[in-house]
Each structure stands twice: as C-alpha cells, then as structure tokens.
Homo-oligomer: A and B are copies of this chain.
Amino acid sequence: MTPPKTSESGNNHLARNESRLRVRYAETDQMGVVYHSNHFVWFEVGRVELLRQLGFSYRDMEQIDDRFIAVVDARCRYRAPARYDDEIIVRTHLKNVRESVIHFGYELVRVGDGLLLAEGETTHIVTNAKMEIAALPDKYMKVFLSAIGRDVI
C-alpha cells in the first residue's frame, strides 16, 4: 500500500473555514455561561459554511443528491466559558475523507482577544435518506480530496 499522494499546490486553504456568530440569550444557562450542548450546534454552523466555501450547499446535498452526513462521533473540550453576546469565530477544518466517512475538526475562538473557548471533532458517515451507508458522489469527493491536498482516497 502506498501512501496517498499529497499535492503542495492543492487547494488546502479551502479545507479551512472561519464563520462568525453571536451568542444568543437562549444559549446561556443559569451558571451564566453557554450551555455545553450548544457548542455542537455551532460546530454544525461551521461545517455547513465550510461546505458552502467548497462550492456545495448541504441543503442540495440532501434534496438533490440524496446524501446525508450523519454524526457518528462528536467530542468537545471546553477551555473557557463562552458568554452571552460574545462574538465567536468557528474555525472548521476538513481533516479527512474516505469513501463514506468524513472527519471535521473545530476551534471556537472569542473575537477581540482571540481566546480559545473550545476545540472539538466530529466524525460523519455518508448515508442516503433511508440512513443506509452510501458513497459520497464523485463531485463532492474530488473537491474534498483536493481541499485536503490529496488526489485519491
């Protein structure tokens, strides 16, 4: 087995997205900070924007191509509390892609002082609407591989 070819001249910058959001009051809890399940919702905001940056709409992926990316593993390490009205940068990174598995990494950073609030990863399998594992269509695969600097799976 040979290692995957890497292409330094690839579109590696495309594999990273920065999106902004502002903490909503509904996202806080009585400890006065953001409740910890919301970080996973923010990861999803970043994931969708990374797809958009790669030229894809996740809405179309579901409706037109009958492909869903279902979460099979999600993790978050909380470094500092996020607070109401904070502006947050969601840094999303396409870490790896295989035929039916996609792996994303995330950092949540506070605008202003750049404080790292949390880091996380999610792993997804590609399915059809019946939740059966399915291959990622070629048009996505090519762009995803290029973005992470690879030519082949």
Q: Please give the residue numbers on chain A whose beta carbons come within 8 Å of chain B beta carbons, in ascending order.
A: 24-26, 28-33, 35-38, 40-41, 44-45, 48, 57-59, 62, 68, 70-78, 81, 84-85, 131
Q: What's the Cα separation between A29 and B14 when bound, in Å?
A: 28
Partner of A74, one of B58, B72, B75, B131: B75
What is the chain B residue whose CB lies nearest that of A74?
Answer: B76
- Measured CB to CB, the closest approach of chain B to A62, in angstroms, equals 8
Which residues from chain B contact A68 at a C-beta distance below 8 Å? 31
- Measured CB to CB, the closest approach of chain B to A138, in angstroms, equals 23
Which residues from chain B contact A32 at a C-beta distance below 8 Å? 30
Add 9 more A-B contacts to A26-B44, A71-B78 (CB < 8 A).
Answer: A24-B41, A24-B44, A24-B45, A25-B35, A28-B30, A48-B85, A59-B85, A73-B78, A75-B76
Q: Which of A28, A36, A70, A85 has the most CB of B within 10 A?
A: A36
Partner of A29, one of B28, B48, B78: B28
- Measured CB to CB, the closest approach of chain B to A75, in angstroms, equals 4
Partner of A30, one of B37, B71, B84: B84
